[in-house]
Amino acid sequence: MSNVRSPEESLDCIGLMCPEPLFQTREAMDSLQVGEVLEVLADDRAAEEDLTRFAKRAGHELILVEDQGDHQRFLIRKGR
């Protein structure tokens, strides 16, 4: 995991249901510079599919999906 640095911003979406984590992630990504990393914490079961699809469509890189037990942790690098 040496190519993964500390995220510039962290977004806590625990307790939020679809589509709110996706909306908040999209908004947070808009405030980042290209190459910066956003950490998203979410416990919505749809979040992994939603964020994976969003990152691919928007030109970002989903660099980590990590199971934290009661939630998942995502790291997304801004692509463009």
| List of domains in the chain | 9-77 (3.30.110.40)
Segment 21-65, tens digit of pLDDT: 999 999 999 999 999 999 999 999 999 999 999 999 999 999 999
2 pLDDT higher than 60: no
* Residue numbers annotated as active site: 18
Do the Cβ atoms of 75 and 64 come closer than 8 Å?
yes
Collapse the DSSP code of 63 into the 3-class scheme (helix H, G, I; strand E, B; otherwise coil) and give the result. Answer: strand
Model pLDDT, residue 1: 42
Model pLDDT, residue 74: 98
Burial class of residue 52, CB neighbours in 10 A (0-12, 13-18, 19+): middle
Task: Count Cβ neighbours within 10 Å for each residue of 11-44 and write b for 16 or more, e otherwise.
Answer: bebeebeeeebbebbeebbeebeeeebbbbbbbb
